[in-house]
A and B are shown apart, each in its own frame.
Chain A
């Protein structure tokens, strides 16, 4: 027997001799695996490479903006850089990151399942992702795409560059996303262990469930949209180009119908990670469990009707603008509910100080500030001034980096011992966490201000009055980069030489921790039966105090 379900606190940490990492050997055993954990690890490696690529482009952009004039590259190169940064970070990193890595690795474990419902489909989605990624990146580099990640026509369909292969790449990536979402929905419906009722599911599972619904419903629209743009480009049909009788604003509607919900594809999993990790860090039941679970579904639903707030100055009618603005406010309410509940979870907890907690503090600040500046730009009159300026850039980076990447980092630190059975150096982790939180603030707060001052986004050159804030932002971004380098070093070290973590280093009550770390190839040695709420931190038979606030 390789695992025990409840390790006692004082037993020495054991690394299971046989686990999913070494049960089969050879490259083929990885490339043809049907094990959700191995697929998760391969996603992990892939998205980290994408994050590195996207990060390098981000640094190139920041360096270029150090001075008002040309700094290190030409205008066309710069335009390609921010396009690459956007496409790689959004389509190749953030959308697959948490669902692909931790959804795959942890979600079946959290349900007490042996695998996902369709293991072959799961492997297919990884191959689709690789195909789409290779196609998109090579097309962008060789085709010289400089449209920005939004591909707005008629610019994207009339300029002489080869957008078509990149659009096909994004189309294929969409299929990867749909297949993963479908698989997860079926898994959550059908493979819950005995006793795992819907109201006992961990909040990460709820978040993945809500995300999967959006992936299945919204992704086909971006697939169709890029195909239509591709057809216009190749066959010359007038769909979006007004010179051919099309309507450029129609493209924007199609595009944001997917790309606004896509924000929630990125951010909901991260919110799920925080909901779970915060309970483990504070050793406490999740405050307002049902409110958090339902607000995920609420965001998924309302998120479908808010897309027009990206188009307040596009020429859209004032009535439509008003409708989209008021709907957007409700997304803010659902997010606010979550924030109150996270803070409420810390109340009367037993909070451990570690890197995860540093990230959680950062996350809470960023998600409130990023979310409320979202409400601010959804307030139509204010958006007239802010639209397409650095204020918007700063706002969505607060959500994309401040919420999503913080969530991704929390997930890495929380589940690293689960995945590899080894522990990283907590001291270094806290140092780098502080660098990242401070570096993030230093990078993006100046961007809010320079946006207020009126600097439009996607600017290669800018008036001199904007320089001070751009220098501050670039300085902050190098702090961020430094933080990530430290993380890379201690994680690689931990992978090889890290201390044996033991099965449950956080003493978490999550179901995924009830097996060995790393888990066995088949997850659990004996069938799992859930008898209690996986977020409850009370000892069996203990007299528990109930507090109502």
Chain B
């Protein structure tokens, strides 16, 4: 049944865990839609044959709807529409809630190519994304120039890629193979050629591939990050280099020591209370926002003194910094909120 419907509707192969969910609802919705519209057309036709004009000036009865009829014409469509909404929203929430154990890949769209950087050390790539089958993969995406949209029809996955912020999507590929990536948001002359490929490999094969790639990294100069100079080594190493050269570590400690800014150790996914009393989880979006607009969401107890890095950090550099922060994990099980700053340059009396 699934294969029949899929072929009738020209749907591509179902190569992710999301695809069958979307397709099943698709079959239901489209079948009812076809039935309703054909029924309407046929009914108009039948009425024409049954009630066509027999002689000129023929008079017709006054037909009025009963209350029962009115309730039916409102109730029946509303029932179907809400049913679809509930199912669709449920599937959508499932899709927007990635599992905890995802493999993270940074994606950057630029006119007219896709760039990929593996979190936790790994190669950079243009156009081709290697992923393991049957493991969830999360994509953290941003754009260097205009809007793009990351679309893999075989996975039924699509997410706009927006400059100046991170959007995320995830998928779990189910079948090894090669799947086309297309840009779905108009982005200029060669929008229609902004293609890439997801190469899905069986798990062990992918692990072997990753080891091989990492081994090769040491000798190779990777130029995928052309926005911030050469990208040497893994993305974490690159992030560390930026943290040193941009002066991040002058205020942020890496080992949990209190300093001018919150420490980076265990910062990722830490729950911080802001000056406003609001709480945030320090995820990729918060970390990036704080580089670009540092005074927007200041952690309680710290001074809004960090300068903005807008224009100083290119998207891949920001991503690398985030990855570097993510790599700084202590063994402690709990991420406690930051302690108050012990050093405050704004108040000279406190100087030690």
Contact = CB atoms under 8 A, between A and B. Distances in A.
Interface of A: 9, 75-76, 79, 146-148, 152, 154-155, 158-159, 242-243, 245, 247-249, 282-285, 287-288, 291, 313-315, 318, 321-322, 325-326, 329, 332-333, 336-337, 339-341, 343-344, 346-353, 357, 360-361, 364-365, 368-369, 372-373, 375-376, 378-382, 384-385, 387-389, 449-450, 452-454, 456-463, 469, 507, 536-539, 542, 544-549
27 contacts: A75-B189, A242-B164, A285-B60, A287-B63, A287-B65, A288-B70, A314-B162, A315-B159, A329-B82, A340-B73, A344-B63, A344-B65, A349-B47, A351-B47, A351-B51, A368-B37, A376-B84, A378-B85, A381-B22, A381-B91, A385-B158, A456-B183, A460-B192, A461-B192, A538-B62, A548-B63, A548-B64
Contacts of B60: 282-285, 348-350, 537-538
Contacts of A385: 22, 26, 153, 156, 158
Contacts of B74: 333, 336-337
A261 B198 CA distance: 39
A362 B11 CA distance: 27
Interface string B185-209: 1111111110000000000000000
Interface string B69-91: 11001100110011011011111
B147 interface: yes
Contacts of A380: 88-89, 91-92
Contact of B164 (A243, A288, A388, A507): A243
B336 interface: no
B64 A76 contact: no
Contact of A549 (B65, B92, B190): B65
B130 interface: no
Q: Which 7 A-B pairs have the closest CB atoms?
A: A242-B164, A454-B153, A379-B88, A381-B91, A545-B61, A368-B37, A369-B37
Contacts of A378: 85
A513 B147 CA distance: 53
A341 B69 CA distance: 10
B12 A547 contact: no
B65 to A, nearest CB: 5
Given A287-B65, A333-B74, A384 B81 contact: no
B49 to A, nearest CB: 9
B276 interface: no
A254 to B, nearest CB: 15
Contacts of A469: 10
Nearest to B141: A315
Contact of B188 (A159, A340, A372, A456): A159
B18 to A, nearest CB: 8
A333 B78 contact: yes
Nearest to A148: B186
A378 B86 CA distance: 12
B41 A326 contact: no
Contact of B81 (A282, A329, A507): A329
Given A349-B51, A350-B58, A546-B62, 9 more contacts: A247-B164, A315-B167, A326-B82, A368-B40, A372-B32, A376-B29, A384-B18, A538-B62, A548-B63
B147 A155 contact: yes
Given A365-B41, A539-B59, A459 B191 contact: yes
Contacts of A548: 63-66
A344 B65 CA distance: 9
Interface string B156-168: 1111101111010
B221 interface: no
A248 B163 contact: yes
Contacts of B26: 376, 382, 385
Contacts of A321: 92
A450 B156 CA distance: 14
B270 interface: no
A315 B160 contact: yes
B51 A346 contact: yes
B182 A155 contact: no
Contacts of A449: 9-10
A9 B29 CA distance: 49
B52 A248 contact: no
Nearest to B149: A388
B305 to A, nearest CB: 20
B52 A353 contact: yes
B52 A329 contact: no
A459 B151 CA distance: 14
Contacts of B310: 245
Nearest to A537: B60
Given A333-B77, A375-B29, A381-B92, A343 B43 contact: yes
B22 A375 contact: no
Interface in B21-67: 21-22, 25-26, 29-30, 32-34, 36-38, 40-41, 43-45, 47-48, 51-54, 56-66
B190 A337 contact: no
B138 to A, nearest CB: 15
B248 interface: no
A325 B160 contact: no
A477 B89 CA distance: 36
